[in-house]
Amino acid sequence: MVRVLLVEDNHDMLMMVSETLRLDDYEVLEASNGKEALVLLQAALEPPHIVITDVKMPLMDGWQLLAAIRGHPAWADLPCLVLSGEVGDGEKAEGHGANGFLLKPFRHQELVHMIDTLLQIQ
C-alpha cells in the first residue's frame, strides 16, 4: 500500500483529497503545516512513499518543508509533489527540489497519475 503524507492547511481540501486517496487504497498521513509534517516524518516507523504539500501554510510553508526534507539525509530522495494555485510556482517548485507540481484546482485522476508517475521513477 502506498503511504502518502498530505500537507495542506485548508481543512476542506485536506479532507477531500485524503478521503479520495483512501478510496483508491492509499494510506494517508495528514498534516496542516510543514512543522506538523516534520513531526510525522520523524515519528514514522516507516516513512511515507511520497510527500504532497501545499505551498502557503502557517508556521512552516511548503518551501521551508521542502528545504528541511532535502536537507535531511534519510529523506533527501523522498519524492515530493507541490500543490499550488499559483501558475508561477511550478518553476519555483522544481528549484526547491520538488519532483512534481500540480496546479489547483486539479482532478483526482491527475493527482493519482502524478503519484504513480513519481513513484515509478524511484
Give me the number of domains the chain comprises.
Answer: 1
Q: Is residue 47 part of a domain?
A: yes
Q: Is residue 34 part of a domain?
A: yes
Give the DSSP per-residue string, 61-79: -HHHHHHHHHTSTTTTT--
Task: Please state the rounded mean pLDDT for residues 17-21.
Answer: 97
Q: What is the CATH number of the domain that holds 63?
A: 3.40.50.2300
Please state, rounded to an integer, the average pLDDT across all residues of the chain: 95
Q: What is the pLDDT of residue 8?
A: 97
Q: What is the pLDDT of residues 59-103, one digit of tens each?
A: 999 999 999 999 999 999 999 999 999 999 999 999 999 999 999
Q: Is residue 76 part of a domain?
A: yes
Q: Is residue 40 part of a domain?
A: yes
- Other Cβ atoms closer than 10 A to 118: 18
Q: Is residue 9 part of a domain?
A: no
pLDDT band at 122 (very low <50, low <70, confident <90, very high): very low
Domain carrying residue 90: 17-121
Q: What is the pLDDT of residues 33-66, one digit of tens each?
A: 999 999 999 999 889 999 999 999 999 999 999 9
Q: What's the rounded Cα separation, in Å, for the pair 74 and 103?
A: 28
Q: What is the pTM of this model?
A: 0.95
Q: Is residue 8 part of a domain?
A: no
Q: Is residue 52 part of a domain?
A: yes
pLDDT band at 9 (very low <50, low <70, confident <90, very high): very high
Beta pairing class for 80-84 and 3-7 = unpaired
Q: Is residue 75 part of a domain?
A: yes
Residue 30 has pLDDT above 90, yes or no: yes
| 97 conformational bin, left if phi > 0, alpha if psi -120 to 50, beta if neither | left
